[in-house]
Every structure is written in C-alpha cells, then in structure tokens.
Chains A and B, each alone.
Chain A
Amino acid sequence: QQQVKQSPQSLIVQKGGISIINCAYENTAFDYFPWYQQFPGKGPALLIAIRPDVSEKKEGRFTISFNKSAKQFSLHIMDSQPGDSATYFCAASTYNFNKFYFGSGTKLNVKP
C-alpha cells in the first residue's frame, strides 16, 4: 500500500504560470514532509520541507501548503520557468527521520 499518493502524474504549464502538485497521506504519525526535485540522470535534491505545526511555508517561488485535518499537502511553483522542468517528488517521514516514503512523482514541463 502506497503511503504517500501524488498527483498529477504529469503537468504542462506555460512559462510564468503556477504549477500545483498534490500529495495525500494516511499515517498520522508522519511528522516531516519534504519535496524533492529530480533532473534526468541525477539524484533527488531537497527543494523545501514542512512540519505539520505550520500550514504554509514559502521559499522564493516555491510554497508548500499543508492541511493537517485533510492529510494533504501541495507544492506551488509560482512564475514557473523552463528551468523548473523536472520530476518532483513529495515524501513523508516520522519524527525519527529513519525512513522516508516517497510519492510516485510528477513530471513537470514548463513551455517557453
């Protein structure tokens, strides 16, 4: 059973638009929710992360929105750029950070 469900599988956005990727989880013990960006041939790189004690975290053009009651969180990429074209993964971990569960990924294509 997949611990973290991610959608959509792929996303096409025009340059300057907003990209939105959604994730949902069931395990209420999850305490840390990172987002990773992966380019072809590279390992995932941490983009931004949130703990459940806040509902939103913003870093530059990237924002995580977190809804604890709905057990959902999402990544918003404002003013999307062609350089943002990559695969994005959400993930979740419990408080001890010893095991991370990843979503299935969203392939983002930003059209110039």
Chain B
Amino acid sequence: GAGVSQSPRYKVAKRGQDVALRCDPISGHVSLFWYQQALGQGPEFLTYFQNEAQLDKSGLPSDRFFAERPEGSVSTLKIQRTQQEDSAVYLCASSLGTGTLPTYEQYFGPGTRLTVT
C-alpha cells in the first residue's frame, strides 16, 4: 500500500469492553506515532516507537492504554475497560525517521473512530 492504513475505521464498544486498534505504517518507516483526536480538537500525542522500541509513552492517559509494535512494523493500540471519555479518533502516523529532514515528516492514516456507549 502507498500510505498508512488503520483498521477498523469505526469501532463501537460498550463501556467496559476491551478494544484493539491496528496500524499498518508505510513499509520501511522506522518511526511510528499514535495520537488521540477528540472532536473539534487537534491530535494529542499518545506514544512513539522507533522500530520495535517504545521510546515515549508519556501521552498515554492511563494504564488502561497499551501499545505495542513487536516486529517493528504493524502496531496495535489496546484500550482495556473502555470508558466514555475514550471516545475519539485514534490516529497513527509513521515517518522514515532516519537521516535529516524531510525524512522525519509524518504521514498519517485515516484514523479509527472509537465510540464508547
């Protein structure tokens, strides 16, 4: 594929359910980011991977949020015991992440819209 893909595109979960959101970055991209975008707001940083290493998870809102990228390509964001405040669009972005600009430019996927009822 030419770009970053995310699945599912839409997810409805009942409060208390666990969800898993998938991100397929651009092939060969070293860096991968997860963002949370509330309605009418800008993306907020959740976590950052360089290959399989999670180098920054300072944006994860609580210990119910967990992200992994075990083989340095596909990443999964897992939310346990979902709450209504978790309702948002979850964006994934990747970048080549080596050398100099413009290799650090981020390419975003279309996002997963999570609605917790």
Interfacial residues, chain A to chain B (CB-CB below 8 A): 6, 32, 34, 36, 41-46, 49, 51, 89, 91, 97-105
Contact = CB atoms under 8 A, between A and B. Distances in A.
Contacts, number: 59
A42 B91 CA distance: 10
A43 B41 contact: no
Given A98-B55, A105-B42, A43 B110 contact: yes
A39 to B, nearest CB: 10
Interface string B44-80: 1100101000011011000000000000000000000
A43 B109 contact: yes
A43 B33 CA distance: 13
Nearest to A102: B42
Nearest to B97: A97
A89 B43 contact: yes
A44 B55 CA distance: 23
Given A100-B33, A105-B40, A44 B45 contact: no
A43 B34 CA distance: 12
20 contacts: A6-B42, A32-B101, A34-B105, A41-B110, A42-B110, A43-B93, A44-B43, A44-B108, A45-B108, A46-B107, A89-B43, A91-B42, A99-B45, A99-B56, A100-B33, A100-B43, A100-B106, A105-B40, A105-B41, A105-B42
Contacts of B106: 34, 46, 100
A89 B42 contact: yes
Nearest to B6: A43
A99 B48 contact: yes
Contacts of B43: 44, 89, 100, 102
Nearest to A44: B108
B108 A103 contact: no
